[in-house]
Structure 1
Amino acid sequence: MTDTTAFDWRSFLLRWSGEWAHNLPRREARGEDDEVARRAGWLGFPAASEERIAAMEERLGRRMPPSYREFLKISDGWRHAGGFVWLLAGTEGARWHNDESGLADMFEEYLDEDAGPEERQEVDLWRRGLQLDVEADAIYVLLDPEDVDEDGEWAVYTWASWRASAPKRYANFLEFMQDMHREFHSLRAGRSDGEAVFANDTTRMLDALVEEARLEALRGGWEHAVKTLDEAKAYGRPRAAGLGDQIRRLLGQTYMVYFDGLLTDPRYAPELLPPLVAEHAVHSYRDDSTLMFHLRGADDDLVSLAHAMLDQVRNGTYRYSAAGPFGEAVERARQLARWGDTDGAWRTLTDALPLWEPLGPDHLAPLGWVADPLLGQLLTPERGRELLSTPRDGQAGEAPTPTAGLDPGGLAWLADPNPGNNRTSYRFVLVEGVEPEELPGRLADRDGSGGGGRDGTVLEKPMTAWEAHQSSLHDKREFSSFDDRALMAVGRAGPGWSFAFDGEPAPFDRQRFVSPATAASEGTRAVAVWSGLRAWHGEPFFHLSVAQDGIEQYAFTYAGGEIRQSGEIPQALDASRFFEALEDGASAERSLLEAVAGQFGASLPRRAIASARLHTFTTRSWTRPPRDGEAYAVIRMG
């Protein structure tokens, strides 16, 4: 806690007065009093004597809080506290507010019937508070005699009609005045009307700290650096906001992150525009006026670049690139992420970070990649902290401990409850020795009608599971009760294997089921798994089939409490070991998945399947065609 009684009010107020007097445009002087204050270099008034302060306290019936008392001993009131309080009360001007503003009644209307004591206490502030604003621009400043700390300090509350927010609280009068000094600086620093540059000892000190914070951030000391930058930002120092926003964005923060002061600089646009544009695309609903607001002052080329980039982000075609060895690592990471190895992609990026080349002196870290549809999914707050903690641009520093991978490996994680506990059935195919892009040729219809994207490519562009599902329904007009073509995401399943995964399969029909492993195994080996041991409807089931060179080697299906099997099943996969006394479907499922992973050395990437973007395609039906006499329904729409 700040010792408010030990604060050097005189030095602080003299410094503030000098900064104001030396940079006051003559047309902003509010009359002769301001001119006198400017010439004297003093925004205050003569000090209040102890007797004068005591008389004030007797008039008000309360002893004033320590920091306000100490202030009065230096200046009995104050002019221009920030930008909107033109005269702050001294011993004569302070008075009980008694809801003069009508705010108590206004806020009371918004109280719920079940509002608690704390909420009612906040409303009553406007009846009990001591008003300090004497002349102000639609803003109220109140000391609260019932919000008192152990040092006897009263909290200060301010409210302005044009802020449209709840009252702002300060722990004490000193904290309030320090913030008003920052507000004064911020407003002066933001002027662009041809007046003299706002420069003084405070601005020079803060600018030096900004430069020191920049270098510290490049050395990996981002935590201390961002605190320094935020303090300088509060004073309106140029560079501070743009530098600090780069750190915040990599921590996953997007609110009020606009890279001010850097965004319209063409040097930094390739890195700073993409994350801003991507965030805008999520929330804009095709209204691009806010994006243009943040690009005010940019030249036509930069605005055109922003529009082109926005189109790319919206249609999923934006691709981040960078120069030098780090750029080469970006391309390798994208390929790893493309096929589901998000942990490997992240390690590829971070290993190359020391080789990263900034675009200019105010560029702290690579940022454009967060807008890339494949690379952006790698970011987590923990990974952002790791990136920021890694020394860059030739700066010396200690490398951070790598963050733990997000994929557990193996297959057993499929038995874990997922958010919402809605993954109770799933199916996948593992194919050995082939690349993921080859899977449609093995699992789609021979005539191509069951595979291929609507744009004529073999695989759809990378999408999340939800996006892929919505896309698959977009042009679908026919639905058949006998047709079970699976929409499957594809990727690499560990060394030597590729996978196709469906997390929302149709109901399992053991009478008509046809394993896709046989067709997928031509010239190699394939494994098909379909689990519904935790299905919400129907009896629990589990299927495993293994084929090689187009011939099924062995298979078993557990359904209806029975096990049906064929071929010579390895002992490790003997179904009776798992289902003889089935009491816990999740436990049996986990054991089965561990056995399958151990037998084939395959693994599915949890993070990619759950939330990342993967290529998808539609397989041939997992059920045989109807036989004579078997009824089925076909629904055609439109």
Structure 2
Amino acid sequence: MTDSTAFDWRSFLLKWSGEWADSLPDSDTRSEDDEAARQARWLGFPPASEERIAAMEERLGRQMPPSYREFLKVSDGWRNAGWFVWLLAGTEDAQWHNNESGLADMYAEHVDEDSKAEAQREADLWRRGLQLDVESDVTYVLMDPEDVDDDGEWAVYTWSSWRAEPPERHANFLAFMRDMHREFHSLAARQSDSEPEFANDTTRQLDAQVEEARLAVLRGGWEQAEEALDEAKGYGRPRAAGLGDQIRRLLGKTYMVYFEDLVTDPRYTPELLPPLVAEHALHSYRDDSTLKFHLGGADDELMSLAFAMLDQMRNGTYRYAPAGPFGEAVDRARELARWGESDKAWRTLMDALPLWEPLGPDHLAPLAWVADPVLGQLLTPERGRELLSTPRAGQTGEPPSPAADLDPGDLAWLAEPDRGNNRTSYRFVLVEGEHPEELPGRLADGDEDTDGEGDNTVLNAPMPLGDARHKTTGNQREFSSYDDKAFVAVGRAGTDWSFAFDDHPASFYRPRFVSPAATASRGTRAVVVWSGLRSGSRKPFFHLSVARDGAEQYAFTYEGGEIQRSGEIPEALEPTQFFGDLAEGAAAEAERPLLEAVTREFGASLPRHALTSGRLHTFTTRSWTRPPQRGETYLMVSVNHPPTHPTTGGRPGAGAPESSQ
């Protein structure tokens, strides 16, 4: 016996009927049939005998699926299946649809080679389906005799013209009726104050389920709680959507996350409004008409706050600043994150989580930090699960295993292909014992930056590297074949080092190249690496130079199969051991072992997550090429509009030989 045939249809339908009757205002005008159903507290009809069901099956030429048969034995049809199907067919009214709606022709128009199977199935449904809707609000209910499971159940499809969506599939007739009961509840829960309170055994059970789920989330049991909240949300229970959205947002999900019922509560606004506004800022493209819609019920004061916060999101000035000891940990985490120490920043937040205090009973976890331009980049689905799995707010439970670190703690990850295989060349400077804030003083020349505003020795605010480059170099008007000012992100490169990293360097041209290592090393050590071993059709190259106290100690440059060297190179970095036995065209194979050797030699690393997904401070260095010498010519190009592709570096031809211009 299947679950559908064992189901207690009579109890389910009686409960539904009573809930429906109690939801109707006495003052409403209704049809004679609906009033009779209200008085009888019964939406159904007399049961169908086995003989009537058999006659129906003979008329239709098919045996009915089990759950529909069992339903008919309790009620031969049904009124008000949800809000949009006013009468559902029993044994007399069920009939083959035979494309009466003409929808088969509409769906057939969309059948093509790419979507043939799915589109053809949707088109054929309207020819073969058994129609169950008798009276409806332009809504069709069809059972598909060709979509059958192992228990002989037919799938049910519903379609409404005003929904502008493909037919919705329900696994069987029982699943369809449960979904219609849920739809009835969802809309009945939104009744106005003038209507009777919508409270019954179902709502009370679901509200208790919401409260139990809330406590379970605070204990770290969010997975089961999420399922319970989703069920309650489907029935329109208050708080369920707002609680479930907090879970979803910490898992990195943003679609249809609006923190319903809670975001407009002044207690929770400081934590729930920022992530909602940040998501709007990310996708609105300056069209702010939908913000008020997503803040349903917001008064003028809240909307004013939302628009002020929107300005902060767009100019990158929003800061998450909770009170108390947890707020102090947030400040420490932000300081770590803005210099690229993402893993330490995350551990700082997690270590302080037991100190976090919710703003009210329905506040499940710290949330506004995901909207902070620096802290928000720390979130990954794995980290969100760790946070949600950690007991907090006075609840107890088993602590989770820490999420894996995002940074490998070396330089070798640069040898791995990036998304889209765009990182074919990169360069960086490592400076020992200096804070990243000091790097502009060592590497910049103090001139105006490339858009004619500001001082190159001042760090730009943290931004994604691509966005920062576009903002800074997108308005550049003049280009020189000698000028090669690197646009770099800065941060900590392990325990003792700081870095300046350029992921879109100009072309490497060895005769004019001047390593910035010597200048950067005043009073300390500096290391410069420039790699183009995966540079496609260009000659593969790799440069390493090391300087101390303003003087270069040693360097080598591999280019096109040749090695140029100077100084006493340590055995661990001897270039011949990396390039000596390589076959022609295999230079890229030397990249990883070379980077591993540099990591071991200097104990430095670069933060992968911060450079690829985070926000870092940036500045523009002095040129990496020497000035023109006597008799040498160079090309200056002036443009009257921004470069066509500013995100590719904004320095067309920088560092290339004159003959290439």
Superposition TM-score tier, normalisation by shorter sequence: over 0.9
1:156-305 equivalent positions in 2, closer than 5 A: 156-305=156-305
1:87 aligns with 87
Give the letter aligned to residue 322 of structure 2.
A
Match of 1:146 in 2: 146
Residues 178-199 of structure 1: per-residue CA shift (max 9 Å, x gap): 0110011111101124212100
Separation in structure 2 between the aligned mates of residue 12 and residue 256 of structure 1, nearest angstrom: 31
Cα shift at 1:82: 0.4
Query: Does the CA contact (< 8 Å) of 1:155 and 1:172 recur in 2?
Result: yes
Partner of 1:635: 637
Superposed CA offset, 1:520-576 (max 9, x none): 111111111111222224322221111111111222222243222222222212222
The answer to whether residue 609 in structure 2 is matched with residue 607 in structure 1 is yes
Letter in 1 for 2:521: S
- For the Cα contact (< 8 Å) 1:452–1:458, is it kept in 2? no
The superposition leaves residues 384-441 of structure 1 with CA deviations (integer Å, 9 ceiling, x where unpaired) of 1111111111111111111111111111111112222221211111111111011000
Q: CA deviation at 1:257?
A: 0.9
Question: Is 1:356 aligned to residue 356 of structure 2?
Answer: yes
1:21 corresponds to which residue? Answer: 21
Whether contact under 8 Å (2:451, 2:475) holds in the other structure is: no
Which amino acid in structure 2 is aligned with residue 350 of structure 1?
Answer: M
RMSD of aligned residue pairs (Cα, Å): 1.7
Shift of residue 220, structure 1, vs aligned partner: 0.7
- 2:644 is matched with none
Describe the shift of the 1:250–1:218 C-alpha distance in structure 2 as closer, same or farther (beyond 3 A).
Answer: same
2:140 alignment partner, SS class: strand
Deviations 1:430-472 (A, max 9, x none): 1111110110000001x44469994557011112121122112
User: What is the aligned residue count?
Assistant: 637
Shift of 1:133: 0.8
- Tell me what 1:589 maps to: 591
Pair 474,451 (structure 1): closer, same or farther in 2 beyond 3 Å: closer
- Give the match for residue 47 of structure 1: 47
Aligned 8 A contact 1:451 1:617 in 2: no
Amino acid of the residue matched to residue 127 of structure 1? R
Contact 1:443 1:520 (C-alpha < 8 Å) held by counterparts: yes
Unaligned ranges ≥5, structure 1: none
23-32 or 404-413: bigger deviation:
23-32
Contact 1:94-1:131 at 8 Å conserved across structures? yes
Instruction: Look up the SS of the partner of 2:620 in the other structure.
Output: strand
DSSP-derived class of the 2:511 partner: coil
| Mean Cα deviation higher: 240-249 or 126-135 | 126-135
* In structure 1, distance between residues paired with 2:408 and 2:182: 49
Change (3 A) 1:178 1:560: closer
Aligned to 1:319: 319
Q: Residues of 2 paired with 1:567 and 1:120: CA distance?
A: 73
Give the Cα separation in 1 of the matches to 2:500 and 2:114. 53
1:340 alignment counterpart: 340
Cα distance, 1:29 vs structure 2: 5.1
The TM-score normalised by the length of structure 1 is 0.97
Bigger shift: residues 295-304 or 327-336:
295-304
1:113-132 to 2 correspondence within 5 Å? 115-132=115-132
> What CA distance in whole angstroms lies between the structure 1 residues aligned with 2:449 and 2:99?
72
Structure 2 Cα separation of the partners of residues 453 and 477 of structure 1: 9
The 1:286–1:449 alpha-carbon spacing in structure 2 relative to 1, beyond 3 Å, is: closer
1:309–1:318 Cα contact (<8 Å) kept = yes
**Contact preservation (8 Å) 2:450, 2:472:** no
Map residues 564-579 of structure 1 onto 2, 5 A cutoff: 564-579=564-579
AA partner of residue 298 (structure 1): A
Shift in alpha-carbon separation, 1:2–1:49, aligned structure 2, 3 A: closer
- The SS at the match of 1:546 is strand
| Alpha-carbon distance in structure 2 between the residues aligned to 1:348 and 1:28 | 59
Letter in 2 for 1:377: Q
Task: Report the equivalent of 2:600.
Answer: 598
State the identity %. 74
Q: Say whether the 8 Å CA contact 1:453–1:617 is kept in structure 2.
A: no
Instruction: Name the residue aligned to 1:76.
Output: 76
SS at match of 1:5: helix
Q: Is the 8 A contact 2:451 2:472 kept in 1?
A: no
Give the distance between the partners of 1:248 and 1:425, measured in 2 at CA: 38
Displacement after TM superposition at 1:587 (Å): 2.8
Cα distance in 1 for residues equivalent to 2:449 and 2:241 = 52
Report how far residue 27 of structure 1 moved.
5.3
| CA contact 1:451–1:458 (8 Å) conserved in 2 | no
Structure 2 equivalent of residue 619 of structure 1? 621
Q: Which amino acid aligns with 2:603?
A: G
Q: Which moved more, 1:203-212 or 1:259-268?
A: 259-268
Bigger shift: 583-592 or 547-556? 583-592
SS in 1 for 2:510: coil
Shift of 1:582: 2.8
Look up the SS of the partner of 1:615 in the other structure. Answer: strand
Contact 1:130–1:144 (CA under 8 A) maintained in structure 2: yes
Q: Which runs of 5+ in 2 are unaligned?
A: 641-661
Tell me which residue corresponds to 2:391.
391
Q: Which residue of 1 aligns with 2:539?
A: 539
Cα distance between partner residues in 2 of 1:261 and 1:554: 65
TM-score w.r.t. length of structure 2: 0.94
User: 539-548 vs 306-315, which deviates more?
Assistant: 539-548
Residue 522 of structure 2 aligns to which amino acid in structure 1?
E
**1:277 & 1:326 partners in 2: Cα distance?**
23
| Separation (CA, whole Å) in 1 of partners of 2:451 and 2:481 | 22
